[in-house]
């Protein structure tokens, strides 16, 4: 026989045992005493056994009741714990956040935000993947990531872009290069030096191509990653233009970053989500932390 007792019946039973009184249990639960008595009768009918021996003065638990008590307490405890976890999930305190980011944006923005968030919500879990722009957008579009950090996508995608920061472009050269002493340099300088360019699928390449179009600059060499770019510049093979955030990925001991002007150009970095996808509450909560951290100065 399987007895499908309800949570209401189990709670009524446990409260009667705890208080030793139908009247006190009814007051604790917030129901009338007749209603509580009906609940217990229904439970006893389902079990085909009495849970209490009672008269006008005394209430005593039966052997069946003694057997049921630890089971009922465990079920109620597990129910409370489970819904406590659900409450924390709905409040954005627990759960998993899946992020995909451009390498430079991920290194510059995500670690500080995760540290700040975990200081308040230590049970939150994170997954961070680095990807170039096209692969990053595909991961969000296909639901493999909750959101991403990247440049603005083209408007034909099912994606929403929320601007976060402007990442200024800088010239990267060797420390012994005469350019290293300049306060700023114009983009035209690349017409006089070997230019080290990012590969075509990089988020940086469209920016440098547009900036250098009128100067007829051809790449002397293309680099596969920002760290490789730094090594190529360090080896004296040329100079390059990088977003300032990308410098976190470069060994700068022998290198110097010089602001680029005439014109001043920024790489726009923003938050990308898929239109129509509902993020988990912890994702929304983390995004607020990320936006706050991005707007705060680095100490």
Residue 194 and residue 216 in one domain:
yes
2 found inside a domain: no
Residue 274 and residue 154 in one domain:
yes
Residue 263 and residue 273 in one domain:
no
Domain that holds residue 199: 168-267
d(CA 177, CA 239): 10
1 found inside a domain: no
Q: Please state the rounded mean pLDDT for residues 148-173.
A: 90
Which tokens is 70 given? 């630890």
Residue 126 and residue 253 in one domain:
no
8 Å CB contact between 212 and 262: no
Each residue's pLDDT tens digit, 218-247: 999 999 999 999 999 999 999 999 999 999
* pLDDT score for 259: 96
Residue 243 and residue 283 in one domain:
no
Percent above pLDDT 90 for the chain: 52
Residue 213 reports pLDDT greater than 50: yes
Helix (H) or strand (E) holding 269: strand 266-274
Residue 56 and residue 108 in one domain:
no
Which tokens is 94 given? 């627990």
CATH of the domain at 122: 3.40.190.10
Helix (H) or strand (E) holding 20: none
Number of domains in the chain: 3
Output the pTM of the full model.
Answer: 0.66
44 found inside a domain: yes
8 Å CB contact between 267 and 207: yes
123 found inside a domain: yes
């Amino acid at each position: 026989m399987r007895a499908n007792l309800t949570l209401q019946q189990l709670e009524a039973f446990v409260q009667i045992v705890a208080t030793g009184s139908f009247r006190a249990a009814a007051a604790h639960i917030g129901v009338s005493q007749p209603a509580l008595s009906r609940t217990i009768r229904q439970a006893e009918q389902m079990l085909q056994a009495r849970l209490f021996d009672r008269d006008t003065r005394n209430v005593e638990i039966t052997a069946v009741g003694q057997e049921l008590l630890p089971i009922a307490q465990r079920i109620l405890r597990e129910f409370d714990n489970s819904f406590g976890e659900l409450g924390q999930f709905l409040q954005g305190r627990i759960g998993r956040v899946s992020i995909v980011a451009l390498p430079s944006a991920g290194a510059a923005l995500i670690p500080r935000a995760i540290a700040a968030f975990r200081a308040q919500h230590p049970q939150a879990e994170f997954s961070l993947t680095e990807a170039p722009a096209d692969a990053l957008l595909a991961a969000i579009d296909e639901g493999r990531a909750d959101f991403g950090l990247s440049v603005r996508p083209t408007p034909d995608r099912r994606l929403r872009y929320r601007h976060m920061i402007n990442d200024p472009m800088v010239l990267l050269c060797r420390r012994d290069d005469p350019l290293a002493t300049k306060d700023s340099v114009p983009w035209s300088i690349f017409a006089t030096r070997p230019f080290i360019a990012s590969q075509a699928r990089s988020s940086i390449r469209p920016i440098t191509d547009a900036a250098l179009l009128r100067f007829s600059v051809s790449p002397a060499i293309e680099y596969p990653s920002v760290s490789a770019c730094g090594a190529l510049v360090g080896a004296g093979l040329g100079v390059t233009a990088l977003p300032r955030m990308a410098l976190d990925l470069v060994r700068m001991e022998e290198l110097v970053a010089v602001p680029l002007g005439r014109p001043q150009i920024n790489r726009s970095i923003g938050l990308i989500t898929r239109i129509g996808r509902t993020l988990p509450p912890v994702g929304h909560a983390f995004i607020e932390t990320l936006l706050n951290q991005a707007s705060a100065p680095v100490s």
